[in-house]
Amino acid sequence: MGIRASKNIRENIDAPTTTKTAPAIFLACIIVYVAVSCFDAWGIRRLQDQIFPLTIGLVTLAGALLLMVRMARTPATDDVFIDIERGIEGQAPHELWSTMLWFAALVALTFTFGLFIALTGFLVAFFRVRGRFGWTRSIVASALGLAFICGLAGVLGRDLPPGYLQTLYDLPWPLV
């Protein structure tokens, strides 16, 4: 009975909705990205390396296309268009563009210095400025984040993305 009635339960009765334009553009960008990723995964020659990204990509692409059909067939007041950020609860402590600037800086630093060095500076600065952590807590949190990323790269047998610095100097792992 609960499962049957769950489709009629809405967490927030007065949830604000938005127009169809922004969600449709965002979903279209995701569909293009996933389609290109699937095409790229299809070109992987080794079957063991191809199965996971292609399976996840195709399932994601199917779900995104079904969501696009739903968005096209329903009015802008449908639950799929709920935009919590427009309501009182969605007042973020930081503006969107300043947050995007942080990530643009991470990408620029990665292209210049490589992911490990860029992430080191990014995490310390982010925790100090945005997180308002003290120096000790910032360094410990950054070290834990870097250890997690390096552990993942080690377990998966992958190198971290290099930057321009790595083309000039031969650096040891994880700086490679």
Does the pLDDT of residue 9 top 70, yes or no? no
Let me know whether 78 and 129 are in one domain: no
C-alpha–C-alpha distance, residues 56 and 51, integer Å: 9
Let me know whether 71 and 120 are in one domain: no
State how many domains the chain has.
2
Q: Could you say which of 33, 62, 89 is where a domain stops?
A: 89
Let me know whether 67 and 28 are in one domain: yes
Let me know whether 38 and 73 are in one domain: yes
Let me know whether 117 and 44 are in one domain: no
Let me know whether 49 and 101 are in one domain: no
Q: Could you say which of 62, 89, 116 is where a domain stops?
A: 89
Q: What percent of the chain has pLDDT over 90?
A: 53
Q: Establish if 173 belongs to a structural domain.
A: no
- Which residues, 6 or more positions from 9, have their beta carbon under 8 angstroms from its beta carbon? none
Q: Could you say which of 89, 111, 130 is where a domain stops?
A: 89
Let me know whether 57 and 109 are in one domain: no
Let me know whether 100 and 145 are in one domain: yes
Let me know whether 84 and 97 are in one domain: no
Does the pLDDT of residue 98 top 60, yes or no? yes
Residue identified by tokens 């553009």 is: 25
What is this structure's pTM?
0.60
The model's pLDDT over 110-125, given as tens digits with 9 standing for 90+, comes to 999 999 999 999 999 9
Q: What is the pLDDT of residue 10?
A: 57
Domain region containing 140: 93-168
Q: Establish if 174 belongs to a structural domain.
A: no
Radius of gyration in angstroms for the set of CA atoms belonging to the chain, rounded to a whole number = 21
Does the pLDDT of residue 160 top 90, yes or no? no
